[in-house]
Amino acid sequence: MNLPKAIFFSKLCAIAASSNSIRGASYQRDLGTRIIGGDEASEGRYSYAVSLQDEVGHFCGGSLVAPDIVLSASHCMQYGVGYKAVIGRHNLTTADGDEVTVKTEITHPGFDWGTTENDYMILVLDRPTVEDVDLVQVSPDTVSVGSAVTVMGWGDTHPSDSIQTRAEELMETEVFVVSNEECDQSNGTVGGTEHMGSIIGGYEDDYHNQITDDMMCAKDGGEDSCQGDSGGPLVIRSNSGADMQVGIVSWGVSCAHEDFPGVYARISAQYDWIRTHVCEQSSDPPASFDCGNRIAETSTAQGTQALRNTGSWSTIIEEDFSGGFGMFNQHGNNANYYSRALNRFGVVRISDGVDGSSAMTSNSISLASSPYTMLKIKFSFYAIEMEHSDDLCLNYELDDGAVTGEKCWSSLHAFDNDRWYDDKSLVFAASNANSLKIRFRVKGDDDVDDDGDDVLISSVTIQGQA
């Protein structure tokens, strides 16, 4: 069972440790965060490396894959947001770089705390970074055994679990990929003291039946990542273009132990999941993700289960509110209906919620026997007196909450008041889903008696892509 290396307590949980160690998490603050046997990286060489920090300090790493998206490890989750992604800071004792609030954590739905399976997490930032930094390119390709790869992070540089020598600057080391079969056979003695050629006080450990297809392993004599480096990138360096990220620091037995490689989440195993969420959530996804193939522009109109073909997308259901609330006819919605408003026929107004938050939720939409692996929700809206701190969010829920997601548009960056927008959309994976609910949510800070923080919706279209 893969548990933290040392015992740490946070405001959220306390987890006892063994040597089979997750390499940094929200409950791991100070002990054992290190790159072992490495060197200080050249300042700016890995400017995509991100330090995740809360009120205590650095607790995990990450990589900037879009101006407002950080890729990290699920076991770094904080069970809440509001902590900072620190971008462009080589020395953590300085105030250099850009501190951006983490707005949303998207952990992989298959993540398992016990096995560290699917240790991937997408962090959506409150805004794009203003730092002039590189983005790392996420690689869909499997890495060959024997390939040289580079891992980086901040923290202790001493291999002993009981000695902490914290690094202030970003450290790096080169390791080499080993096969999953070889990694799974790893076993050896951990800890203890050598006395007259024998180890006293040590114990046996192994990786047997723990290395899965979504993991990869890498090692080199006396060099390794370790706890606190968690979430940081494992990359193939490039001298002529973007570095290619192939792994995420995840777990391992001890640190730089000659018998145990470091274990990383394998990017190629979940590249489509990563790509989908970057395309959904980023305000400016890099061209390397080819999001245009999934976010095709299409038109809207009313219908039911029409399955009309519009290019690569097929229309499943459309709501133009010509006959009332339609598929949003739910008790408890903070919405009013207008047969005509602002030169459009059939409009609903989302307003008058509690504490500045108003919502409108759909009925359950059947997806049984659906051939689609991707869904797209496109809508037309008009904002009324929304301030820069106010957001319009679209949530989705598959199979009664088995999978959920959200995308928010801020009036600071994404739209202006007093005009219609017909081009906002959300794309997400939906393979084998049987039902869907969507919800529009207006997040403002006005009192319920005020006239502000309102949104008009004139059409909603749900489309599918096989």
Active-site residue list: 75, 119, 230
Task: Enumerate the β-bridge partners of residue 428.
Answer: 375
Provide the CA 333 distance to its chain's centre, in angstroms.
30
User: Which parts of 93-250 fold into alpha helices (H)?
Assistant: 180-184
Tell me, what DSSP letter sits at residue 295? Answer: S
User: Among 261, 227, 193, which residue's Cα sits nearest to residue 61?
Assistant: 227
CA distances to 102, 107, 318, 368, 376 from 439, rounded to whole Å, are 22, 20, 15, 20, 14
d(C-alpha 49, C-alpha 232), whole Å = 7
Instruction: Please provide the DSSP assignment of 317-330 as one string.
Output: EEE--TTSSGGG--
Q: Based on the number of CB atoms within 10 Å of its own CB, is 32 exposed (0-12), middle (13-18) or buried (19 or more)?
A: buried
User: Which parts of 44-121 fold into alpha helices (H)?
Assistant: none
State the virtual CA torsion across 227, 54, 8, 246 in degrees, nearest 10: -20
243, amino acid identity: D
At 63, list the tokens: 């990589």
At 90, list the tokens: 């080589």
Counting runs of H as helices and runs of E as strands, what totals does the chain give? 2, 35
Residues with Cβ within 8 Å of residue 317, at least 6 apart in sequence: 303, 304, 305, 306, 327, 365, 461, 462
Task: Enumerate the β-bridge partners of residue 247.
Answer: 266
d(C-alpha 148, C-alpha 238), whole Å = 12
Residues with Cβ within 8 Å of residue 292, at least 6 apart in sequence: none
Q: How are beta strands 374-384 and 391-398 bridged, if at all?
A: unpaired
Tell me, what DSSP letter sits at residue 76? Answer: G
Determine the 3-state secondary structure of 251 from DSSP. strand
Please name the helix (run of DSSP H) or strand (run of DSSP E) that holds residue 71, with its range, or none: strand 69-72
Instruction: Please provide the DSSP assignment of 337-384 as one string.
Output: EEEEETTEEEEEEE---BTTEEEEEPPPEE-TT---SEEEEEEEEEEE
